[in-house]
Structure 1
Amino acid sequence: MRIRGGRIAILLFLHGLALPAFAAAVQDPTEQTLNACLNDPEHGSTGGQDECEAAALASYDKRMNVAYSKLIKSLLAQAGQDLKAAQRAWISYRDLEARARGGLFETRQGTMYAPMQADAETDLTRDRTLLLEGYLRVLEIDGP
């Protein structure tokens, strides 16, 4: 069992290195929906753009939670514990990043900064979602 766990850990690591290139090639449905929303004249206002970003953030968050749950159920005990610790650390990072970003954007004036701040929040969750979904694809290579 230990060898299998080590093999999975190595595969997850290698996949993590290749993820940015792979993720760019994958058609992301949430990104497509977000782009369509942002390009819709009905969402041309700051509030409309914020609504688009909020919907995308909710979609990525839901996908991230699904991927995380599947991974926790699929990984060996130590790998699952490590993923749980990593996810908790990521959540702490996300929350601190949001506070820092909020402080930055509070120093700016103008309506364009609200969608910029929302976009930054969406991007952070998108990146984590795609990473966890990529890990799931690694597990599908050899099957259960």
Structure 2
Amino acid sequence: MKKWLPIACLFASSMALAQQNPLDQQLQQCLDKESSTTGMSQCYGTATKAWDKEMNTQYNQVMKKLTGEPKDKLRSAQRAWLAYRDSWNAASRSYFLSSQGSMAALSIGAQSVSLVRNQALMLQSLNKGSCANPDDC
């Protein structure tokens, strides 16, 4: 029985990976290949750019569907979110650089990816027109 446990864990982890967004898979594959802080930091930078592109795609698709007040409110919300993102990134960069030394780049990169990823997924939920499924939000 115990000899099957590692195989079961491997299967479960590959199933979880298969259910991830392709951008998350690409990030994980990049991180798995890299062993240096610089290389892993570049993985986070690439993932942030990819999620930023996805966020802009989702935003533009939603904006095409809207008119009037809903469109104005979403534009305003997105602009406020962009200001929040920049402010948060500055604050986290300051904190991590003062407390983590060489590992700060990885924490900063991971937070940057997370911020943009979450916004892209929120815009995607608007695009789908529903947040009934928690995976859509």
TM-score range, shorter chain: 0.7 to 0.9
Q: 2:57 aligns with which of 66, 91, 109?
A: 66
- Structure ranking higher on relative contact order (CA contacts 8 Å, 6+ apart): 1
Residue equivalent to 1:86? 77
Which of residues 111, 125, 129 is equivalent to 1:138? 129
Q: How many percent of aligned residue pairs carry the same amino acid?
A: 33
**Unpaired runs of at least 5, structure 2:** 1-18, 131-137
Q: Does 1:105 align with 2:96?
A: yes
CA–CA separation in structure 2 for the residues paired with 1:109 and 1:78? 45
3-state SS in 1 of match to 2:99? coil
State the 4+ residue runs in structure 1 displaced beyond 4 angstroms.
none
Number of the residue aligned with 2:24? 31
Equivalent residue in structure 1 for 2:118, among 106, 120, 127: 127
What amino acid is the match of 2:65?
S
Q: Which amino acid aligns with 2:24?
A: E
Q: TM-score, normalised by structure 2?
A: 0.77
| Matched letter for residue 95 of structure 1 | D
Please tell me whether residue 114 in structure 1 is matched to residue 105 in structure 2. Answer: yes
Unaligned runs of 5+ in 1: 1-25, 140-144
Deviates more, 1:45-54 or 1:72-81: 72-81
TM-score, normalised to structure 1, is 0.73
Aligned length: 112
Q: 1:31 corresponds to which letter in structure 2? A: D
Two-structure CA RMSD over aligned residues (Å)? 1.3
The alpha carbon displacement at 1:31 in A equals: 0.5
